[in-house]
Structure 1
Amino acid sequence: MRKMTAWRRSAALVCAVAVIAVACGDGDDEVDEPDTAEEPSDEGEDDAADEGEDDAAAPAEIATGIGVSDEPCPEGVNPDNGCIYLGHISDLTEGPFFPLAVEILAAQENFFERVNEDGGIAGYDVSLVIRDNKYNGQEHVTVYEEIADDVLSLAMSLGTPPTLAALDLMEEDQMLAVPASWWSGWDHEESDRGLVVASGYSYCIESMIGLDWYAGEFGDPETVLAVGYPGDYGGDSAAGSSAWAEANGAEFLGFTQTAPNAIAGNQDAVVQAIMQAQPDVVTLGVGPLETGEIVAKAAASGYEGFFMGAVPTWNPALMGDEGVAAAMTALYRHISYSEVWGGDSPGHEALRASLDGELPSNDAYVLGWFQTYPMLALLEAAAANGDLTRAGLIEALDGLVVDYEGGMPTKTFTGDGAADAQRTGVINTPDAEADLGLSAIVTDFQSPTADAFDYTSACAAAS
């Protein structure tokens, strides 16, 4: 079942040179853009209600609209099924997260291949319409407009700034989207307009989880410094660090902003700020290359504190250099909202089976797999309601219960962000013997600070 698309081949080349990029601080290598997936053969304005009454594989009547066709998918498994087209807009060639994004794409492709092989959804297979946003808001809007009339929903909209750039259009189109970003605004309707179907915790809550774990393991830190990209990612993570410090009597030393190496060139200024401040703990909201450089250079400079890294800070390629690996193993722990590759849930068993025993290039495959369960649940609920339209998906979202096959806590979408939010996490350590270089120290870690946090709005602005 394993797919090795052109997107994944391109990323594999970059991952192979990631350690070199850490050493020289240059993340600006560009990769030629591969061809995108096939366009849907039908814009899907058909109403299946009149023709589907005798179809035993589907409910007697299902209203359909944009993005749903009675014709089989171009690469469908079931020739008698129709096709549900879902958009996948992601950072697939040259943005800061594309080595992660291509594994998220591969996971979604294999996830829906599994769904199709199990018979599909109410008489329909699922097909992805793929576009590259280059992690750029303007480009995201452009490719969104290219596919908006062809897809029922967005199975993936990677990046908070790109997604926000299209939010007005999404609202006009009644387009729901699954994000690959964890800005706290996605948990609150005032920020996402009820259109973003997020899983896992936010970056803000994540920092509290990581710092609570550190305090329990090593004692309460007296000082905390946040390092990250400004805005939705690093800014949200920093807001969580600040809130944790305030709640626990620690001194928050501030938010040191940085940028990907493709823009900043290197992380020397960050390392200098860390060495001057000498915080007990640094929370990181940056990319993997920047993480490796910051931790390794700080360790080489004599820093004796500790780093807690957000979900996107990790890439197993960081273990390819002995110096970087030693520094990461000694001074860094990774926070995640689900167990990594080696988890023992049925969901983890399914994702490993989807690659026929092979390994992805990084754990973003795991993230992509579990991020897709809400879309499956939405499609199944909407079909059961007899309404596979965009309005039908929005109606199905109200009260939707998502079972992640044990890979994450079951989530109910009630519309109350504070009540719905996940406030538990997994703490991982770099491990040269583990598949993909991470092993879990603690699963289902309960964060008292996150539990007590008044989470009624976004922790930080997205920009």
Structure 2
Amino acid sequence: MRNRMRKQYSWLMLVMAIALVGAACSSSTDDTTTTAAPAATTTTAGGTDDTTTTTAAAPTEEPMVTGRGIDAENKVIKIGLLADLTGLFAPLVIDITDAQKVYWDNLNAAGGMDGWTVELVIEDTNYNVEQHIEKYNKIREDVAAISQSTGSPTNVAALDLYKEDSMLVLPLSGYSGWAVPDFDGGLLLEQNTNYCIEAMNILDF
């Protein structure tokens, strides 16, 4: 089961990274957008030798529009993890967290994505609702998304904060509500079979 979870998270992290870089970059190769200026024009007055030359302004460079967790100058994207590293699910979550760290370390070492690298901001929530909210408040202004957030009760408790920030979150949770956009605002990306579907499958079996 752990190997399957690792494969799922590696795929989801890759998809999310591409989406984040696409949103962060206005160009696939440059950090600025250049607007070409029209060519210079020359006007000659009728019946005279007088001419007037008009030279257009030089091309302008527009700075990249970025958001929280995106450092355009250094080409770094910060992604948060609200992981249970010391609580009930720590034996599972530690492995998943380590797998994500290895994935991004290897990708960054290989040059990242078009020069962009990912920095993980990891906080231990101890699978505790109060601590989960405390740790989210600690990093919410510093990360572009949450690539792992442990638990159903913890994520439900923090849902209003996610909505307030329009924060993209990948919950490590089988809660059925993540499949209902009207409930989670489409911000929590369900990646596993939820509890309701599993229950129906058991009954069918």
Query: How does the TM-score come out when normalised to structure 1?
Result: 0.31
Aligned partners of 1:142, 1:203: CA distance in 2, in Å? 27
Q: Does 1:85 align with 2:64?
A: no
Aligned equivalent of 2:68: 66
Which of 96, 99, 103 is matched with 2:95 structurally? 103
Q: Contact between 1:89 and 1:157, CA under 8 Å: does it hold in 2?
A: yes
Q: Report the CA distance shift for 1:62/1:198 in structure 2 as closer, same or farther (over 3 A).
A: farther
Aligned equivalent of 1:424: none
Which of 167, 175, 178 is matched with 1:175 structurally? 167
Q: Does 1:206 align with 2:185?
A: no
Larger radius of gyration: 2
Structure number with the higher strand fraction is: 2
Please give the secondary structure, in 1, of the residue aligned with 2:120: strand
Structure 1 residues not aligned, in runs of 5+ = 1-46, 55-59, 73-81, 216-463
Q: Report the CA distance shift for 1:53/1:190 in structure 2 as closer, same or farther (over 3 A).
A: closer
Q: Report the CA distance shift for 1:206/1:150 in structure 2 as closer, same or farther (over 3 A).
A: same
Please give the secondary structure, in 2, of the residue aligned with 1:161: helix
Aligned equivalent of 1:52: 31
One-letter code aligned to 1:68: I
Structure 2 residues not aligned, in runs of 5+ = 1-23, 34-61
Aligned partners of 1:139, 1:123: CA distance in 2, in Å? 35
Aligned equivalent of 1:161: 153
Aligned partners of 1:108, 1:127: CA distance in 2, in Å? 11
Q: Contact between 2:31 and 2:72, CA under 8 Å: does it hold in 1?
A: no
The number of residue pairs the alignment matches comes to 152
Aligned partners of 1:61, 1:201: CA distance in 2, in Å? 42
Q: Report the CA distance shift for 1:53/1:99 in structure 2 as closer, same or farther (over 3 A).
A: same
The alignment yields a C-alpha RMSD, in angstroms, of 2.5
Q: Contact between 1:49 and 1:61, CA under 8 Å: does it hold in 2?
A: no
Aligned partners of 1:206, 1:117: CA distance in 2, in Å? 39
Q: Contact between 2:32 and 2:64, CA under 8 Å: does it hold in 1?
A: no
Aligned equivalent of 2:120: 128
Aligned equivalent of 1:325: none
Q: What is the percentage of aligned positions where both structures have the same residue?
A: 39
Q: Does 1:185 align with 2:198?
A: no
